[in-house]
Amino acid sequence: MTPEMREYLDAPHDRIGTNCEKWDGLERLYGRSDLIALWVADMDFRTVPQVREALVRRAEHAIYGYTDDGERARAAEAGWLKRRHGLDVDPDWILYSPGVVDSLYFCVGALTGPGDGIVVQPPVYGPFYNAVRLYDRALVRSPLIREDGEWRMDFDDLEAKFAAGAKMMILCSPHNPVGRVWTRAELQRLVDLVNRYGVALVSDEIHADFALDGRKQTRILALDGAERAVMLTSATKSFNLAGLRQSSIIVKDAAIRKTLKNAVERVHAASPNIFGGIAQTTAYQYGDEWMDAVVEYVTENRDFAVEFIRREIPEILCRPQEGTYLMWMDFRGLGMNQADAIAMLVNRAHVALNDGLFFGEEGRGWFRMNLATQRDNVARGLENIRDAIRSR
């Protein structure tokens, strides 16, 4: 990255007092406010400068009426997917909804019925479970397998669950929290399996722009036979725009797209947020250099954290994640139960991490750390954790 971009990302930017969940919500969630916030998945980096400029220009207009999603917005998203991921998307395939979690709910409600089995791969992002339970579907767990520290899908178990009648699978790609970027071969095998058993496949790809170490994220719609898959994506994670509430449901199959379009419109959620639409379109048009720099910065933070933990806190185990800006950390070597580990992190280390149980029972003994912040925050957080462990 250029020195100017590094300076831009490295500069601390105080978020306290901005109704920021990550920092202003510490007292409510952790019981104290004097913590280094390394939990919720948004970034402490200022967004693409052109996005700020576009939002200021639009705000100065001072009339914020109903807005149209517009051909320009869809064209910008299709351009980004082609330029960054080599994926050809017809702009007509793109539906809008307020957020990827909202989109997930629309998919479960519209494409399955009460009691239908929905497969998830724990440990996995908590709202996957919520979507299944909210709609009175049956949660079908196919846990990831961990061998020699490497996470992989259990294809034999997946096939057994599909053969037993599961109707949908929710895929996390890249996987949150374990950080796998699934290979093209793994994803093709999965697509072949769901097609064999007639299982609907919904792929949450909100972290797709964070494939690290030169890896290429294979988008689900790029695979042979994936015409009926549903791809959920958003610029909000990539460009730190989560508060603007904008996401896309991308569906090639016309019948499935119509079903989901009706589901979104039924609750009047299809019209984009006026500022969210502007921010997303501008980011997709002008955000390449910024995105490249952020991926490089996160990779450097990851490498720093992995080496610090290996050298200073060997009781904690972690592997360099392949994707996302989230590190999955195994605290089980400390011999502490989950509640005691949380108390140590909060009250002695003064660090806020995500509790692994948010990702399912398979996350017991684990914590998730957000690396999308200035290096100083990462360093201080790890030093505090080390010192808290040493002072037990």
Q: Tell me: the pLDDT tens digits for 207-229? A: 999 999 999 999 999 999 999 99
What are phi and psi for residue 261, nearest 5 degrees? Answer: -60, -45
pLDDT tens column, 14-36? 999 999 999 999 999 999 999 99
Q: Where in the chain is the domain with CATH 3.40.640.10?
A: 66-286
pLDDT tens column, 25-83? 999 999 999 999 999 999 999 999 999 999 999 999 998 888 876 788 999 999 999 99
Mean pLDDT of 255-260: 97
Alpha-carbon distances, residue 40 vs 5, 51, 125, 139 (angstroms): 24, 22, 12, 25
pLDDT at 67: 82
Q: Where in the chain is the domain with CATH 3.90.1150.10?
A: 3-48+288-390
CA atoms within 13 A on the CB side of 66: 4
- Binning pLDDT at 50, 70 and 90, where does residue 392 land? confident
**CATH fold label, 3-48+288-390:** Aspartate Aminotransferase, domain 1 (3.90.1150)
Cis preceding-peptide flag for 3 (omega within 30 of 0): no
Residue 149 has pLDDT above 90, yes or no: no
What CA–CA distance (Å, rounded) separates 319 from 150? 8
- Binning pLDDT at 50, 70 and 90, where does residue 271 land? confident
Domain 66-286 top-level CATH class: alpha beta
pLDDT at 272: 80
- Work out whether strand 326-330 and strand 366-370 pair parallel, antiparallel, or are unpaired: antiparallel
What CA–CA distance (Å, rounded) separates 295 from 324? 9
Mean pLDDT of all residues in the chain? 95
pLDDT at 303: 98
pLDDT at 343: 97
Longest C-alpha distance within the chain, in Å? 61
- Binning pLDDT at 50, 70 and 90, where does residue 333 land? very high
pLDDT at 69: 66
